Amino acid sequence: AATQRPLDGAQISVVGTDLGTLTNTAGQFQFNVPLGQVILRIRRVGYGSSNKVVTVTPDAPVTADFAMPQVAIGLDAVVVTGTGVATERRKLGNTIATVDASQLRNAPVQNVSEMLAAREPGVSILPSGGLTGEGARIRIRGAASLSQPNEPIVYVDGVRVDRGGGFGDFVGTGGGGYPSRLDDINPESIERIEILKGPAAATLYGTEASAGVIQVFTKQGSRGAPSFDFMTEQGISRFPKNRYMPNWGFARSDTQATRLGQFYGTTVQAFVPFSRNVVTNNLFETGYANTFSGAVSGGTSAVTYYVNGRYSHDDGPFGNRRLGPANDLDRFAQGSASIVILPASNVKVKVNADYVDRFHMTPSNNNNIYGTISSAIFSKPELARCYTGGVPTGQGSCTTDGNPNSPLAPGNPFGQAAFGTVREDMQEEIKQDAKHFTGSVNLAYQPVTQVSLDATLGVDVVNQVSTDFAPFGYNVDNLISLDPDGYKFLDDRTRREITAEAKATWTTKLGEYFQSTLTGGGQGFVAKVEDVGEGGEHFPGPGLEVVGAGSSPSIYERFLSTVNAGVFAQDQLAYRDWAFLTVGGRYDRNSAFGKTSQGVFYPKASISLQPSSLSGWNSSALRSNFSTLRVRGAIGQSGLQPGAFDKFTTFSPLTSELGPGLAPSNLGNPDLKPEKATEWEVGSEIGILNDRAGVEVTYWNRVTRDALYQRQYAPSGGFRAVQLSNIGRIDAHGWEIGLNVLPVNRPEFSLKLFGNAAFLHEIVTSLGGSPPLKVGGSYPRYRNFVKEGYSPYALFGAKLVGPCSLRPAGATYACLQPGQNPYDLNGDGQFDTDADLLAALATPRSLSSLLPIRVDENGNGDFLDHYLGKSAPDWAGSFGFSATMFKNFEVSSLFEYKGGNYTITDLTFAFRNSNASIGRNSERAARVESTLLNPTSTAQQRVDAAKEWLTLRALTPYDGLNQNENGRFVRWRELGLTYNVPTAWASRRLGLRYVSLKASVRNLMLWTPYTGIDPELNEYGRGAASSDLNGIESNFGEGIDAFGLALPRRFTFSVRFGF
């Protein structure tokens, strides 16, 4: 009302009916209502609701105008997810978050993951890296399971959709660049997203819902002549080069120095470190993106429609065509349609369809010895050279004739010590073609005013074909030994899921003050996954690109089918429209339950009290302090079922010279049942200064019992593999706080400030007597463990012997007295003094011979079991502002932060600092090693270098040492500026309803004490560890910075217009 601007996306409804529509971009609406006197109600997120009584006659249309005040706290918004029936937020005892897409038009968002990022406390969007099209992982209130997926289940218009990601079971990249199926959803077609944060809210979704529920609602048309909306966007993206340190090295002799000087065309001196920017100068470029979108909507009193088409092509900032075809690219062709049919005033039929054809390409990456980025990071400049057929250019490259502009020739210009050159790794192409369809039909029937019936039938189908291809002779530099004759691996994954739901709602008055809303129904899902992989290695010659051309074939096949069905009921009792008591539950059966496990029942209950809605509130003493006040509480249960085959005893095929056979595989457990998570929460919403400032506070507590955990049974029975059993327990609690303030709200200038914070504390309280499990299994570098008594994200590893002054009283483990060092270079069994080090380092000595002494604090003989922190922060949240200036300019900004006992494993620099063959190429490591090897160094200089080596030494047998850092950060996530051309000018001069111009930036700046590449990098991308998103690596492989690509800055400019 204060800004006097038209509002689109506002919900207009007739109270007591299912009739309603949305306002268009001009703030207008039109729809049929029953004759006589009716009450119209208007709502929109961020604005106060309003009612208006109108009288409709058959001879003339009725006009109703609404002025909507902005509010900092909105309890009148209607939500659907988890409530059984459309319900106002103020009536619910549990939290439910809503992300309104219309409020993100000024934000630089391109997909569902970015729409959700940093919007709601307790909802964490975890990007794993900066490759174009790379999907993010989602966590809501931490981890509810030890072994099953901790990703929320996702619905689109009432249909459960594929929430997975990756390239299937038979194709991989090394960990990064994995696409998310959630990002297949057309962002231009989204109206809003509703989020249930835990079992207390998600009970009616039953089994699989303990990690939360996300439901996406797509746009619908409104009555009126066809209206057309178009958008075009152009963008560029760049990696932040300052996060990548140069590759350092040094010549070990004058002869080598002379050769290197000629190779690089510069002066190189023996034992004087020099550097080259291998990563930033050779693998980074400017990415270009363009997006086009068009939509048409309209309708009559009987039918409304909305149709959208979107095309996006994003060629990201990774690549170098001169080195090879490897690239990061994401291309979409998306279509969405919604039709609403009103055959009668009490019948509504909605048909929704969404389709995407997506092409995705990414390089080999992350913790992969043949990865493009890891090879570049491992480069050692002193190893650079040309091979036979290559001539040095004097500029750090090898060509056919020494001319820098001539074709590249065999060589090792960046200095790879092993595995392959960057140019060879760049020959590998990893691609995916995906087709994704989601469709639904919804029928709503209201036979009488008090009763409504609703049924939904839908299907979600995904077919993705992924390939990993290296051509014959891709060993262009004659270094790589992995199938130099080429290979191709193909993965064909198809997933189909059918959703069916039917429910009935009966609303009735119970006397003068009470009203009951009773809902009951059933819901079922049938999901099938087929994954077939084929491989062919050792092509006989060039030009062959099909799997069957390989002389060494391999085949893989997996099939899963699960059925889940449940019935639910809920009753909400309202007292004088200010007190609301809700009780309900769901009974579930799932095909994955063991034979002895019957169905499971999940109950729920909640209460909401809003005294500020009482008629006497405005005259009470509290009104002077609180314009809105609500308190609430809820308790509920939900679960997660085991895998489809976990209950079965299975055998795997075995080949031998004597013929085929069988080997024991899965022991099986007929007693398997779902995990059960019980959560309760209490909270309050407070509005002050006439709701110009609002605070929302929630405390929650969750206990997961019968948690599924891998247990080792007696191997004497022949089954050596671990078996899932219901033996674990996880306890968690947290706080969620949200603040919104409207300090200025005038026609010429309005300002909204916002911030939120979430605190999380999790403990594994029981593993049923089973030992801890380690992320990555036997791979020693990852130090993430699931261990009883600790956070499920706990880190354990080596520590060096420390000063006795820091040893706790009563402890007896080894410690250093003043003047001692954690070395024993002379082998006398005592800690070396400075004098001992001077004597031992009187002559040059290699770093590999300097072995610091580790400590065993608990005396159990395990030097790698010291607690080093955890990879999940205590606190996470966001803050920012949005403003309107001079009526037509809109500015918005968003910052995201994480911190508090937050530890990142910097495996990248652990290798760069310590590994003798493919590392020791950081500035400090090169300087330390050159000092120790330089014959002209003094003994004291070598002693100083040896002491610095204590802060660099890492990796086996020191895994966990010198590889963990504080990961807290603040990131300037979004900045947007929009100019809305005055509507009168746009109409008069251009014949358009509206025109808007937007410039925006994403990931503008980063503030962090973390010295690695990026605190948001993670080795395991979405679906990288498991295409089903389950398992310890998917759940707790967090905070591992392993040779990834930082989040890029993205600059975009877009134009929107409609007519």
Handedness of CA 401, 407, 413, 416 (dihedral sign): negative
Q: pLDDT band at 659, cuts 50/70/90?
A: confident
What digits encode the pLDDT tens for the residues 225-278? Answer: 999 999 999 999 999 999 999 999 999 999 999 999 999 999 999 999 999 999
Instruction: Indicate whether 809 belongs to any domain.
Output: yes
Q: Is the pLDDT of residue 2 over 60?
A: no
Conformation bin of residue 58: beta by default, left when phi > 0, alpha when psi is -120 to 50: alpha
Residue 571 inside a domain? The answer is: no
Question: Please, which residues bridge with residue 1055 across strands?
Answer: 232, 997
Q: Which pLDDT score is estimated for 3?
A: 59
Gap between the Cα atoms of 377 and 631, Å rounded:
54
Query: Torsion-angle region of residue 103: left (phi > 0), alpha (psi -120 to 50) or beta?
Result: alpha
Cα separation, 912 vs 906, whole angstroms: 10
Report the alpha-carbon distance of residue 249 to residue 268 in Å, rounded: 10
**Local confidence band at 1028 (pLDDT 50, 70, 90 cut-offs):** confident
3-state class of 472 per DSSP? coil
Q: Are 431 and 361 in contact (CB under 8 A)?
A: yes
Residue 929 within a domain? yes
**Using CA atoms, how far apart are residues 496 and 502, in angstroms rounded to an integer?**
20
pLDDT of residue 202: 84
Tell me if 932 is assigned to some domain.
Answer: yes
Q: Is pLDDT of 758 > 90?
A: yes
Residue 625 lies in a domain: no
Classify residue 341 as exposed, middle or buried by CB count within 10 Å of its CB (0-12, 13-18, 19+).
middle
CA distance linking residue 710 with residue 671, whole number of Å: 14
Concatenated DSSP letters of 59-77: TB---------B-S-----
Tens of pLDDT, residue by residue over 395-428, are 999 999 999 999 999 999 999 999 999 999 999 9
Q: Are the C-beta atoms of residues 488 and 467 closer than 8 Å to each other?
A: yes
The SS3 call for residue 1045 is: coil
Nearest to 245 by CA among 887, 1017, 1014: 1014
What totals of helices (H) and strands (E) does the chain contain, helices first? 12, 52
546 falls within a domain: no
- The answer to whether position 784 is within a domain reads no
Question: What angle do helix axes 907-914 and 923-933 make, rounded to 10 degrees?
Answer: 20
Q: How is residue 239 annotated by DSSP?
A: -
Domain count, the chain: 2
Query: pLDDT higher for 291 or 82?
Result: 291
Give the span between the Cα atoms of 224 and 527, in whole angstroms: 40
More confident residue, 189 or 649: 189
Of the pLDDT bands very low, low, confident and very high (cuts 50, 70, 90), residue 346 is very high
Instruction: Read off the tokens for 19.
Output: 């009739």
Prior bond of 957 cis (ω within 30°): yes
Q: What share of the chain is helix, strand, coil (3-state, %, to 5)?
A: 10, 45, 40
Q: Count of CB atoms within 10 A of residue 93's CB?
A: 26
* Ranges of H-type helices in 101-206: 112-116, 199-202
Task: Tell which of 936, 954, 972 closes a domain.
Answer: 954
Which DSSP letter does residue 987 get?
Answer: I
What whole-number percentage of the chain has pLDDT above 70?
99
474-496: per-residue pLDDT in tens?
999 999 999 999 999 999 999 99
Does residue 103 surpass a pLDDT of 80?
yes
Domain assignment present for residue 201? The answer is no
Segment 342-349 mean pLDDT: 93
The string of DSSP codes covering 513-570 is TEEEEEEEEEEEEEEEEEEEEEEEE--SSTT--SGGG-SEEEEEEEEEEEEEEEEEEE
Mean of all residue pLDDT scores within the chain: 93
> What would the pLDDT profile of 513-534 be if each residue is shown by its tens digit?
999 999 999 999 999 999 999 9
The per-residue pLDDT for 20 is 74
**Residues 206, 588 contacting (CB under 8 angstroms):** yes
* SS3 assignment, position 476: coil
pTM exceeding 0.85 = yes
d(CA 98, CA 79): 8
- What digits encode the pLDDT tens for the residues 880-938? 999 999 989 999 999 999 999 999 999 999 999 999 999 999 999 999 999 999 999 99
Q: Looking at residue 524, what is its pLDDT?
A: 95
* For residues 106-119, average pLDDT: 96
Of the listed ranges 5-9, 752-756, 847-851, the one predicted with least confidence: 5-9
Residue 18 in this model has a pLDDT that exceeds 70? no
CATH of the domain at 17: 2.60.40.1120
Strands (E), 117-212: 123-127, 136-140, 153-156, 159-160, 190-196
CB 447 within 8 A of CB 489: no
Containing structural domain, residue 63: 1-69
pLDDT of residue 28: 79
Pairing of strands 749-766, 723-745: antiparallel
The pLDDT of 831-846, averaged and rounded, is 97
Which strand (E) or helix (H) includes residue 715? none
Q: Tell me the two tokens of residue 133.
A: 């099209």
Which residue has tokens 């919804």?
442
> Looking at residue 332, what is its pLDDT?
97
pLDDT in tens, 123-155: 999 999 999 999 999 999 999 999 999 999 999
979 confidence band (pLDDT: 50, 70, 90): very high
Cα–Cα distance, 714 to 114 (Å, whole number): 47
> What are 81-94's pLDDT values in tens digits?
888 888 999 999 99
Give the DSSP H or E segment for 96: strand 96-100
pLDDT of amino acid 508: 95
Distances in Å between the alpha carbon of 629 and those of 98, 605, 676?
Answer: 20, 21, 33
Q: Are 580 and 550 in contact (CB under 8 A)?
A: no
Instruction: Tell which residue, 519, 505, 500, 521, has the closest CA to residue 456.
Output: 500
> Which contiguous run of DSSP H or E holds residue 765?
strand 749-766
Whether 207 has a pLDDT exceeding 60, the answer reads yes
- Would you state the structure tokens that stand for residue 779, as one six-digit string? 């791979």
Q: Work out the pLDDT band at 591, boundaries 50, 70, 90.
A: confident
User: So what's the pLDDT on residue 1011?
Assistant: 96
- Residue 290 confidence (pLDDT): 98
> Which sign does the torsion angle of CA 398, 399, 402, 406 carry?
negative
Beta bridge mates, 515: 509, 574
* HEC readout, 651-685: EEEECCCCCCEEEECCCCCCCCCCEEEEEEEEEEE
> pLDDT tier at 653 (50, 70, 90 boundaries)?
confident
Which run of H or of E encompasses 357?
strand 347-362
E strands, 950-1007, in order: 964-966, 969-980, 994-1007
Which residues, in sequence order, are CB contacts of 1058 under 8 Å at separation 6+? 25, 227, 228, 229, 230, 992, 993, 994
Residue with tokens 């955990």: 709
What DSSP designation does 183 have? G
Q: Two tokens at 226?
A: 């066809």
Write down the pLDDT at residue 597. Answer: 73
Pairing of strands 1049-1058, 994-1007: antiparallel
Contacts of 198 (CB under 8 A, 6+ apart): 140, 141, 144, 210, 212, 638, 677, 679, 681, 700, 702
- Boundary-marking domain end, from 47, 69, 91: 69
**C-beta of residue 289 within 8 angstroms of C-beta of residue 234:** yes
Domain-terminating residue out of 69, 85, 114: 69
